[in-house]
């Protein structure tokens, strides 16, 4: 069996050598636990589930079945990267489900932020459970639980969802290969398992995805404007050496329009808001101050390249009072 709890004397994994030793030990534990049975994993493309996938592919190969649900609210290039890294490079047994229409239809006209979040979370479990029911002989469910999740759930700060909130009739034994690791350790382990640096060192991204950055009722055109502007922001941060230095940065396209002018004609389009923040614990957040040059460049690119945007605004509000996300 795997360790359930992080041993008090466990050395923090800070070097490739320590990561390699952890991986070797885990691979053996995983093989002992799983034998020749099959394991199911919801692979979001986030750091934790990606590292779990990479570890299990090494341990049990195609006995791991990964399901990647694209809810249509992912960032530009994300589903493609999951397929490229896991199916093409690591030869994972990967089921890709494009559920974009299903999610966007359910979300159509829904304006309340909490209702939007509930629909996205509930639908995700439903799609995943449907895929799981189509498979035979699965006995284990792998999860990217990490040590802070356990500590927070024990402290009553946040509920730790065992078995991903799957319906009662779906019972699996859990496999949690990074359960005793802190986030920084998960990243080093992921790197040693061969995952690309931009996957293991990526900024936090909320489960409801771009849905919370498209405030109010989500429409496909506004969602596309969020996705395109986010891609430009990420590209410019990478080019300017800010990737990996700034904690989190993204764009928001609110659902109001303002008057503008282009080629001598009146426009009536959305603004795009840029938010870039730093923090250690996300309880308190400070704003990253961008250079004038970068601000001008971002504005130019977004107003010329993103359809539907005629204005760029910068959110320089700390938390508190403003949360990181808009919904
Ligand atoms: P807030 O908006 O609460 O965000 O200040 C704090 C941090 O949490 C992220 N966040 C989420 N992460 N699922 C997640 O996995 C969620 O539903 C969620 N909502 C917010 C947010 O991006 C920020 O890093």
The mean pLDDT value for 232-254 works out to: 97
Residue 272 Cα to ligand 1 midpoint, Å, equals 20
Q: What is the pLDDT of residues 262-290, one digit of tens each?
A: 999 999 999 999 999 999 989 999 999 99
Atom of ligand 1 nearest to the CA of 205: 22
Residue 303 Cα to ligand 1 midpoint, Å, equals 27
Give ranges for CATH 3.30.300.10 in the chain: 209-314
pTM of the full structure: 0.94
How many Å is the maximal CA-CA distance in the chain? 71
Give ranges for CATH 3.40.50.620 in the chain: 16-200
Confidence of residue 28 (pLDDT cuts 50, 70, 90): very high
Chain-wide mean pLDDT for the chain?
95
209-314 CATH fold? GMP Synthetase; Chain A, domain 3 (3.30.300)
Q: What is the pLDDT of residues 40-57, one digit of tens each?
A: 999 999 999 999 999 999
> HSE (CB half, 13 Å, CA atoms) of 169?
4
Q: What is the pLDDT of residues 59-98, one digit of tens each?
A: 999 999 999 999 999 999 999 999 999 999 999 999 999 9
Give pLDDT, residue 191. Answer: 98
Sequence-distant (6+) residues with CB within 8 A of 312 are 271, 272, 273, 274, 298, 299, 302, 303
Surface-to-core class of residue 250, CB atoms within 10 Å of its CB (0-12 exposed, 13-18 middle, 19+ buried) = buried
The mean pLDDT value for 132-146 works out to: 95
For the domain covering 16-200, report its CATH number.
Answer: 3.40.50.620
Sequence-distant (6+) residues with CB within 8 A of 283 are 319
Cβ of residue 325 lying under 6 Å from some atom of ligand 1? yes
């Amino acid at each position: 069996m795997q360790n359930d709890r992080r041993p008090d004397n466990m050395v923090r994994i800070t070097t490739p050598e320590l990561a390699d030793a952890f991986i070797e030990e885990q691979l053996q534990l995983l093989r002992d636990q799983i034998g020749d049975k099959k394991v199911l994993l919801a692979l979001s493309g986030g750091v934790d589930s990606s590292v779990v996938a990479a570890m299990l592919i090494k341990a049990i190969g195609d006995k791991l079945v990964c399901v990647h649900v694209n809810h249509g609210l992912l960032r530009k290039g994300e589903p493609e990267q999951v397929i490229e890294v896991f199916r093409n490079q690591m030869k994972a047994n990967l089921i890709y489900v494009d559920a974009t229409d299903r999610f966007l239809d359910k979300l159509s006209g829904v304006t309340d932020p909490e209702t939007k979040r509930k629909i996205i979370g509930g639908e995700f479990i439903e799609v995943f459970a449907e895929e799981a029911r189509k498979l035979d002989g699965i006995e284990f469910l792998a999860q990217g639980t990490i040590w802070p999740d356990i500590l927070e759930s024990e402290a009553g700060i946040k509920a730790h969802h065992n078995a991903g909130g799957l319906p009662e009739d779906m019972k699996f034994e859990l496999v949690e290969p990074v359960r005793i690791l802190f986030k920084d350790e998960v990243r080093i382990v992921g790197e040693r398992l061969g995952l690309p640096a931009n996957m293991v060192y990526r900024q936090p991204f909320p489960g409801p995805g771009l849905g919370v950055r498209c405030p109010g009722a989500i429409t496909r055109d506004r969602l596309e404007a969020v996705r395109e502007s986010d891609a430009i922001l990420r590209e410019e941060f990478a080019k300017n050496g800010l990737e990996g230095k700034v904690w989190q940065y993204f764009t928001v396209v609110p659902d109001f329009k303002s008057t503008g002018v282009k080629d001598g004609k009146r426009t009536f389009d959305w603004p795009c808001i840029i938010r870039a923040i730093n923090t250690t614990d996300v309880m308190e957040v400070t704003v990253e101050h961008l250079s004038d040059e970068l601000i001008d460049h971002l504005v130019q690119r977004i107003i010329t390249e993103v359809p539907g945007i005629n204005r760029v605004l910068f959110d320089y509000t700390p938390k508190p009072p403003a949360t990181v996300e808009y919904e």
